[in-house]
Homo-oligomer: A and B are copies of this chain.
């Protein structure tokens, strides 16, 4: 790394950069030659080119409309400007591949319209963003416009007369780049920020810089406004925005989005300045980031931690990441199977061609999901995400414990939360975000107000809320200062995988430590032990929810359900968005809740006592605009507790087969569950499942090399 930085610095000092060739952003002259030669040989890639052509032709046959910006996300002018950059992008590429001038002429004509419009624009009239753009309601969309348009412009650059280029450069693109970099204090801050919006800004400025051969723009994009590489720019983003494990602090959903400008700009840098070896930079951090992102999935969908909707491998960003990273290092044959199995298209570029060709040549290898700890923080010390997969892939099981840092503005207040996926479904669910992306009537397609108020709140997550307050008081400024500590992550024995993490600051005066042991087989069942230890010298109320997916089947103790009237679970901090659907007191030293999802039963068995209360809740209260889903949860509340340990066993059991109408093992097999000892040094628990007994012990306060846990069946 030091060496490459040195080389980089030398180049920068010398002001020496390669002479530009066009196109050189997403496709190259030699790539176009290969694509042309390959046409007719790889039907899947032919389909991609046919699709690109049909999009370009549709653009050609439609009137050019460049409206004065008016709407927020999803509205007509918003969608039109999006359409326009895609139209230019496809026409630019089709010009290169076919050589037909009509495509280049289209791009030129549309740019003429933007040339007329752009200088007349002030800030966008929809005042929803703290960072308004000119073409769109937020600069973010302006960046994306410029990234795509740069590709188109690069493709037709040599087609344009020099005077026209000069006009576009000086009157449209340079002013746009300057607005995005320096149009306001906030624009300048975002441009230099270590954040995915900053990456988009740098990619946009850098790519138009390469396209219009403006070294200053490229320099600033790479090294920040002040050129130092220490206060902004793409290189610093590569250094800081990913952890050494390739984890992006906002979580998978935004890593998906963040990776897009990273890989596009990397492609442009690599084509223009191959000597930078950008794909090898920082131990090939981009390769790590893309592969880590692909690992943060279940059934091809990203984990819904932090702000997240249902997206996965099929998202267009992942096509970019997949294709570009494969072309950069074609030893990664598993990328081919992801493309083949989940993605419906290729990039119509050099990179897409390489992927399509090598799939056709039968080079794809299986993509294997692995248990792993993804450390958070640029130096890997800001907690992390513990991922567990079944050793037998056919079981298709994933368990997560999230002990990462806050995750910037898209982070949730959910320290030590867990999720569980099995047999194709989320089973213990993380809500993700409240947003109707691009649906104008739903808060202009942006995050709804309930995203902050409910989705981010602690009570919306499978972790402990103390005294009804979100972690860190729900204050991102406080939360951002701290991260949990990964105390233990051990997957050396596939039959029992263990993690433990603690958090000292989320709830003042309360230490939280959560230990999970994923036991593949005890008494014939998969059981995940969940030991949530709370240490405090004051009394508190602790609430531990399990947001389950499926049909409520049974509770082992009698319960009362709201009949004619239903009220909310609480008044504030997210509780007011939950309907209090049912409540109960335990009638035993443990309680068992069973639900059904698909073909399997799931049970949570938890140790209880006379100070425990049980609730069933459902989201959707105080939601006058129908922003929330109506998701159910089972909540265990421990009243008047100081030091207290929640011990639960999450069990996967039975079979529900509607095809032959057969039900097996619908009842939990956890016969006993006890905390035998619990103190500052360790917690020792015992479980009995179908006649098989085991003891599990987690020790605390050990140094990093000591073995933290023991597990004995007897």
A interface residues with partner B (beta carbon < 8 Å): 74, 79, 82, 309-311, 314-316, 344, 436-442, 445, 551-554, 560-568, 576, 579, 582, 594, 596, 618, 621-626, 629-630, 656, 658-664, 666-667
Contacts and interface: CB of A to CB of B under 8 A. Distances in A.
A552 B448 CA distance: 14
Contacts of A562: 621
Given A564-B622, A618-B630, A438 B551 contact: no
Nearest to A618: B630
A563 B666 contact: no
Nearest to A622: B563
A309 B564 contact: no
Contacts of A664: 79
A132 to B, nearest CB: 20
Contacts of A625: 561
Given A564-B568, A579-B566, A663 B626 contact: no
B445 A663 contact: yes
Contacts of A563: 621-624
21 contacts: A74-B663, A82-B662, A311-B658, A315-B659, A316-B660, A344-B659, A437-B663, A438-B663, A439-B553, A440-B666, A441-B667, A445-B663, A552-B626, A562-B621, A563-B621, A563-B622, A564-B621, A565-B568, A566-B566, A566-B567, A566-B621
Contacts of A436: 551, 553, 596
Given A314-B659, A624-B560, A660-B316, A439 B566 contact: no
A440 B554 CA distance: 10
Contact of A661 (B310, B438, B576, B658): B438
Nearest to A441: B554
A421 B568 CA distance: 35
Given A314-B659, A561-B626, A564-B621, 12 more contacts: A79-B663, A310-B658, A436-B553, A437-B663, A438-B663, A439-B663, A440-B663, A441-B554, A441-B666, A562-B621, A565-B566, A566-B621
Nearest to A563: B622
Contacts of A596: 436, 439
A221 to B, nearest CB: 24
A441 B309 CA distance: 35
A438 to B, nearest CB: 4
Nearest to A257: B661
Q: Which of A560, A596, A659 has the most CB of B within 10 A?
A: A659
Contacts of A666: 74, 439-441
A629 B316 CA distance: 35
A542 to B, nearest CB: 25
A31 to B, nearest CB: 23
Given A565-B567, A666-B440, A658 B315 contact: yes
A708 to B, nearest CB: 39
Given A74-B663, A439-B666, A661-B438, A576 B551 contact: no
A600 to B, nearest CB: 13
A551 B310 CA distance: 14
A666 B436 CA distance: 12
A664 to B, nearest CB: 7
A623 B632 CA distance: 15
